[in-house]
Chains A and B, each alone.
Chain A
Amino acid sequence: MVLSYRLPPVPTRLRLAIWRRLKRIGAVLLHDSLWVLPADGKTREAFEWLAEEIEEQGGTALIWGAQSVDSQQDQTIVSRFQTEADARYATLAESVRKLQRVTARRGGSAGRLQQIRRRLLGLERALRLERRRDYFRASGRQAAEEVLRRALADIDRRLQPVADFRSGGKPYALGH
């Protein structure tokens, strides 16, 4: 599915809002003017409502259900989706590792660890968004999920009060 649109040059804020929405649903930009999404009920609806908004703002929008003339071209476009998703997964995994390095280097008080844990949970939420817009199961997904899972397990272990281990008590239910 392909969307092409034109907006009045001002205000910039509006152009940015539309651009952000397209990025948010994981559309890929080809040749600086064509936004592409795989066709399903949800993505089609997203394009249609965006087109409606663009027209409400005085712009014009065109949507096509498109078919490539050869399968090589399809594959190239699929690779673009995967490359972009992989880049986002890599950024997330790097943010997780950065937080892990902070705890490894400085350890820290329970309050500090809780703070880092909350940031990890924020990254977990971001990862769920990635999964929703990763239309072609990019290879980086599993690695990013694994890094995050381990980081959370690690911090939960550190937050575990020592007394609990001694008494054989159950760990906190910090489920995620």
Chain B
Amino acid sequence: MLWVTRPHPHIDRTACAWLIRRFVDSQPRFAFAPDPESAKRLGGTPFDMRGVELGHHEGRCSFESILFKYDLTDPALHEIGAMVHDADLDDEKFRSPEAPGLDAIIRGLGLVIREDDELLGLTDRIYDGLYAWVRHLHAGA
């Protein structure tokens, strides 16, 4: 499936791309477009864009909207959702201690990596690591 979001992804979009790749679509392709109309022309499912289903709604960030839409109930994913929400919206809703650090890392990577696909490749590994760590905390082992 083709998934489309705005170029120069930051925290929410990089996290959404990871979530889609690992838990929603095993063979995803990603493309970038500036607005939902161009996304539609590309024939993909838009995410983290204004006016689309997988965007910000009722106080949810796009990552949380994907969790909601695809019924992803893994508590570790919801904990990562809390980090992404706090980093993206900066409203301290979950008071996630990881959020400011995650925000700094992803923003900094955006400054040194101009190629969006390359950035997503790297951030995928960061979220893999975060997910493994949160699972580890939940398992208590």
Contact = CB atoms under 8 A, between A and B. Distances in A.
A71 to B, nearest CB: 27
A21 B10 contact: no
Contact of B51 (A21, A41, A52): A52
B10 A41 contact: yes
Contacts of B50: 48-49, 51-52
A20 to B, nearest CB: 9
Contact of A21 (B57, B58, B91, B100): B91
Contacts of B110: 41
A27 to B, nearest CB: 13
Given A41-B10, A45-B10, A48-B50, A56 B90 contact: no
A52 B55 contact: yes
Nearest to B59: A53
Interface in B95-133: 100, 107, 110
Interface residues on B, range: 10 to 19
B21 interface: no
Contacts, number: 24
Contacts of A41: 8, 10, 110
B90 A24 contact: yes
Q: Is the interface of B mostly helix, strand, loop or mixed?
A: loop
Interface string B41-65: 0000000001100011110000000
Contacts of B100: 128
A24 B58 CA distance: 18
Contacts of A147: none
Report which residue of A41, A45, A132 has the largest number of chain B beta carbons within 10 angstroms of its beta carbon. A45
A22 to B, nearest CB: 12
Contacts of A48: 50
Contact of B90 (A25, A51, A52, A53): A25
A49 B61 CA distance: 9
Contacts of A21: 91
A58 to B, nearest CB: 14
Interface in A108-129: 128
A42 interface: yes
Given A48-B50, A52-B56, A56-B57, A132 B90 contact: yes
A64 to B, nearest CB: 16
B123 to A, nearest CB: 15
Contacts of B89: 49
A48 B36 CA distance: 13
24 contacts: A21-B91, A24-B90, A24-B91, A25-B90, A41-B8, A41-B10, A41-B110, A42-B10, A42-B107, A45-B10, A48-B50, A49-B50, A49-B56, A49-B89, A51-B50, A52-B50, A52-B51, A52-B55, A52-B56, A53-B56, A56-B57, A56-B58, A128-B100, A132-B90
Given A52-B56, A132-B90, 14 more contacts: A25-B90, A41-B8, A41-B10, A45-B10, A48-B50, A49-B56, A51-B50, A52-B50, A52-B51, A52-B55, A53-B56, A56-B57, A56-B58, A128-B100
